[in-house]
Amino acid sequence: MARRTRPTGSLDLRSESILRAVIEEYVSTAVPVGSHSLVERYSLGVSSATVRNILAALEFNGLLTHPHTSAGRIPTDAGYRYFVESISETSQLPQVEQLMIRHQFGQVQHASEQWFRLAATTLATANRTAGLATQAKPRAAHVRRLDLVSISERLASLIIVFREGALRQVLVTLAEPVEQEDLTRAAVILDGLMAGRTAVDAERALARIDGDGPIGTLVRRVGERVLAAVRDYDATGIEEVFSDGLLHVMEAPEFERSDKLRRVFAALENRAYLGELLDRVAGTGAVQVFIGAENAPEEMRDVSLVLAPYGEPGRAVGVVGVLGPTRMAYPQAIGTVRFVSTLMNELVQHIYA
């Protein structure tokens, strides 16, 4: 028998296995499940009357509810929570699926910066829900490389490469016409000045520079822009949340009416909350599950999130995960999210190695 932690206020084994059965059944059918169908489909070794008593007890404990008196039971958020606690650390992804996912990741080794997108896509297809991913973001941005490219006489494109591969492109309008040659010279100076530095360090370095001559002025001017961009990069808590497979969520029967769906989509655009959530996850080391109304904003009460951080703690972290209806296949979701996050760990380590 596998060791199994039972959450606080834990139930006896039989109650727990019935809770499991209810959840399993409800997750796959989306129909409230009654005592009769339960004994029919699961070999529980007791009669429906007994099951009814237990269901009543589970309801008393707040783990199940009734949509109405003469209907079957459905899990409450607390019910899902209990269930998740009881399985989360045992849920390993089957070898076959691990291989399939690994294979997908192998395909696109070279299309850099796109890993996190692939993670979202993979999670979406593997779970038939929406997959989410953010790019790994460093605690303090380190500039790796600067470049200035002339676009027209008085317009140049400033390109900033950060250590973990993120790019920023900023247009710089110039006070007077500047040749590409001079731009290059300025870029080399700035590059030497700022490469490997964080915003704070770079500012000091820039302050010390000699602002004389046309090149000096240029360096100063562009330097300011670089600093602004780096600070901006630092400031944005979580970059951009890439999502894929939202269509899967639309297929769930609980979202047949599009107003509920709209709420979910609105929630996804609520960067404030999502950002906070991701920051919180990024701070911890493990898969985390947020179920229905546990999510602060009202519009998230119909969905659950399974999220995990990846990257190098203290250097650069991102988040991958899955969004689906609360009626979600949690074991599967937790398994894939955990696996994908370890894959992403490998990739990030590969870069920092």
Partner DNA sequence: CATTAGCACTCAGCACCTCCGAGTGCTAAC
Partner DNA sequence: GTTAGCACTCGGAGGTGCTGAGTGCTAATG
Q: Where along the sequence are the contacts to DNA (CB under 7 A)?
A: 31-37, 46-50, 52-53, 55-56, 59, 66-73
Figure out which of the listed residues 69, 70, 173, 210 binds its own copies, where binding follows CB under 8 A.
173
Count of chain residues binding its own copies (CB under 8 A): 42
Look-up: residue for tokens 């400031």?
Answer: 235
Rule CB under 8 A: say whether 212 interacts with its own copies: no
Residue 69, binding choice from DNA, its own copies, none, Cβ under 5 to 8 Å by partner class: DNA
Q: Which is nearer to its own copies, 16 or 244 (CB)?
A: 244
Handedness of CA 229, 222, 211, 144 (dihedral sign): positive
Give least dist CB 350 to its own copies, A.
Answer: 7
State the amino acid at position 257 in one-letter form: R
Sign of CA dihedral 135, 139, 140, 144: negative
Residue 174 contacts its own copies per CB under 8 A = no
Q: Is 192 in the site for its own copies (CB under 8 A)?
A: no
Instruction: Tell me if 165 contacts its own copies by CB under 8 A.
Output: yes
β partners of residue 74? 65
Answer yes or no whether residue 224 interacts with its own copies by CB under 8 A: no
Is the Cβ–Cβ distance between 61 and 75 less than 8 Å?
Answer: no
236 binds its own copies (CB under 8 A): no
- What is the H or E stretch that residue 60 is in? helix 48-60
Q: How many CB atoms lie within 10 A of CB 270?
A: 16
Distance CA 231, CA 76 (A): 44
Q: Within 10 A of 298 (CB to CB), how many other CB atoms are there?
A: 10
Q: How far apart are CA 5 and CA 187, in angstroms?
A: 58
With respect to its own copies, which residue has the nearer C-beta, 143 or 278?
Answer: 143
The answer to whether 223 touches 187, Cβ cutoff 8 Å, is no
Identify which range of 12-20, 43-51, 255-263, 283-291 contacts its own copies by CB under 8 A.
255-263
Instruction: Report, in Å, the least distance between residue 54 CB and its own copies.
Output: 36
- 3-state class of 212 per DSSP? coil
To DNA, the closest distance from the beta carbon of 58 in angstroms equals 10
Which x/- pattern over 139-158 shows residues binding its own copies (rule: CB under 8 A)? -----xx-x-x-xxx-x-x-
Using the 8-state DSSP alphabet, how is residue 139 labeled?
Answer: S
The contact set with its own copies (CB under 8 A) reads 109-113, 144-145, 147, 149, 151-153, 155, 157, 159, 161, 165, 167, 169-173, 225, 246-247, 250-251, 255-259, 261-262, 265-266, 269, 350-353
